[in-house]
Amino acid sequence: MNTRFCLIRHGETDWNAEKRVQGQIDIDLNATGEAQARALADALGEHDFAAVYSSDLARAWRTACIAVEARKIAVSPAPTLRERHFGVLQGLTAAEAGMVNPTAYRLHKERAPDFDCETGESLNRFAVRVLTGLASMAQRHAGQSVLAFTHGGVLDVVYRAATGRAIDAPRDFTLGNAALNWLDYRAGNWHLVAWADSRHLRATLDELPG
């Protein structure tokens, strides 16, 4: 039986704007991220969901709570939806990582599947964690629709699972903050329905003070 997922990356944080690796460091939304979350509430208004899940990291959890506040439906924490742990690279920009730990940064950029960033998660282990968690949700909600708030790395894994891209292949797709990503899961297989729909965010900047 088919389960439909709407997967959403959290709204923007200051570290996103700085292109700083967040991983599992718990950074909250900035003003733009909160406006994006409010825009999601309208974008999701026409859709019904049997359940809402979120990564328990603050940036995803806050996005979820704002986006579904008017729905009177509880958000359930799902640690399997957490971002990958980037080990020694967490908290660094690309330029900083290249200077502080050039070997780790090179292996990260090459998407070495078994490299765990010295103290974090490898891509292979991360992918297993993500896909196993989502498969459990799909089994729990067979024949229903599920809304899940998560992170860019999680979306990267699921997109590759749905399109047959290797985990170590260069990324050639977008992972936008607060965009809608629709996928179906059936009998262990992922099918991409729609990706990176961000039409609801066009007016987001109008909400922010000058």
For residue 209, what pLDDT band results from cuts at 50, 70 and 90?
Answer: very low
The pLDDT value recorded for residue 206 is 57
Residues assigned a catalytic role: 10, 83
For residue 100, what pLDDT band results from cuts at 50, 70 and 90?
Answer: very high
Q: Is the pLDDT confidence value at 199 over 80? A: yes
Q: Is the pLDDT confidence value at 75 over 60? A: yes
d(CA 113, CA 44): 35
CATH code linked to domain 3-203: 3.40.50.1240
Q: Is the pLDDT confidence value at 208 over 90? A: no
Q: Is the pLDDT confidence value at 204 over 90? A: no
Contact partners, residue 61, CB within 8 Å, separation at least 6: 54, 55, 75, 77, 149
The pTM for the full model equals: 0.95
Of 120, 115, 55, nearest in space to 84 by CA = 120
Q: Is the pLDDT confidence value at 173 over 70? A: yes
Q: What does the pLDDT look like over 108-139, one tens digit per residue?
A: 999 999 999 999 999 999 999 999 999 999 99
The pLDDT value recorded for residue 158 is 98
d(CA 58, CA 6): 19
**Rounded mean pLDDT of 86-93?**
98
DSSP 126-145: HHHHHHHHHHHHHHHTTTSE
Q: Alpha helices of the chain — where are they, by DSSP H? A: 14-17, 31-43, 58-67, 94-100, 102-109, 123-140, 152-163
**Rounded mean pLDDT of 173-200?**
97
User: Which residue type occupies 11?
Assistant: G
**Rounded mean pLDDT of 87-110?**
97
d(CA 89, CA 108): 9
Left, alpha or beta for 138 (phi > 0: left; psi -120 to 50: alpha)? alpha
d(CA 180, CA 93): 27
For residue 72, what pLDDT band results from cuts at 50, 70 and 90?
Answer: confident
Q: Is the pLDDT confidence value at 210 over 50? A: no
Q: Is the pLDDT confidence value at 207 over 90? A: no
The pLDDT value recorded for residue 87 is 98
Whole-number average pLDDT of the chain: 95
**Rounded mean pLDDT of 42-69?**
96
* Percent with pLDDT over 70 in the chain: 97
Q: Cα 210 vs. chain centroid, distance in angstroms?
A: 29
The pLDDT value recorded for residue 11 is 98
